[in-house]
Structure 1
Amino acid sequence: MSIFTKIINGEIPSYKIKEDEHFIAFLDVFPLVEGHVLVVPKIEVDKMFDLPTYYLQQILVFAQPIATAIEKTMPCKRCGISVIGLEVPHAHMHLVPITTANDLNFTQPKIQVAPERMKAIQELIVANL
């Protein structure tokens, strides 16, 4: 069982942004920048392109209002998108507020964000949905 499945099942707390019957989105606790959100299908499949067609089609539809809310909330030029999938064997998409292409560089060190700031960012993004 992946760490994302444990979050989906409520076994691990998260800074949830949005959820429906097929997907969940929450703040990355090891973000590249503040406002970094993970969008995760609720079925545990390792690779993005191994997801059933419905999930591949709908993940972007689910993510679209979140990306718009990120852009309204965080100081950035746009919301970047990335699918890496090497650290957690559960398909997922990264939505990252970016100002430069380097903001999507996953080889750079992750930042630490205090829990109070994470909660504040969560509330602001949710308010902008």
Structure 2
Amino acid sequence: MSTPFSKIIAGDLPGHFVWKDPEVVAFLSIAPLRPGHTLVVPRAEVDRWTDIEPALLTRCMEVAQAIGQGVRAAWDAPRAGLVIAGFEVPHMHIHVAPAWDLSDFDFTAVEVEEDQSVLDAAAERLRTALQGLDFPHAVAPRT
């Protein structure tokens, strides 16, 4: 059975993509911890990060690092946080978000962002930062 993330990757559900490569994509979370909260997701459907092929996990972490550099630059954050929780969707994903302190990782406080223009603006801000950092697989900002 296809996961919600596979449906986003296939274009069957909407997604605010900031990164696409042959193995991994990244798109904004619809329930952000902070503006810029991004999910790094392998195209392959793997439920648990402990079950993923090591080379693909390495690729996911490389993309997460690039996204982390992008969110730090875009939001002038002192840190980019990274969490692998695995409870929300049965498809391995890495949460990357700008962070100022540990309270920025309170998953119990998140709410779905209903205003798509907020997500559009955050995606555009992150795309611009990633392009400025010269990452070739970053999705180009809209012109």
TM-score (norm 2): 0.85
Aligned partners of 2:110 and 2:16: how far apart in 1? 21
Aligned twin of 2:140: none
> What runs of 5+ residues in structure 1 fail to find an aligned partner?
none
Aligned-pair distance for 1:66? 1.4
Map residues 1-129 of structure 1 onto 2, 5 A cutoff. Answer: 1-110=2-111, 112=113, 114-129=115-130
- 1:78/1:96 Cα in 2 relative to 1: closer, same or farther (>3 Å)? same
The superposition leaves residues 64-120 of structure 1 with CA deviations (integer Å, 9 ceiling, x where unpaired) of 221111111114221100000101000000001111101112122336362112111
- The percent identity for this pair of structures is 33
How many pairs does the alignment contain? 129
The superposition leaves residues 26-50 of structure 1 with CA deviations (integer Å, 9 ceiling, x where unpaired) of 0001111111000000000110110
Aligned partners of 1:112 and 1:26: how far apart in 2? 14
> What runs of 5+ residues in structure 2 fail to find an aligned partner?
131-143
Aligned partners of 1:93 and 1:12: how far apart in 2? 19
Aligned partners of 1:113 and 1:65: how far apart in 2? 27
Aligned partners of 2:18 and 2:129: how far apart in 1? 10
Question: Which has the higher mean CA deviation after the structures are superposed, 108-117 or 45-54?
Answer: 108-117
RMSD: 1.3
Moved over 6 A (4+): none
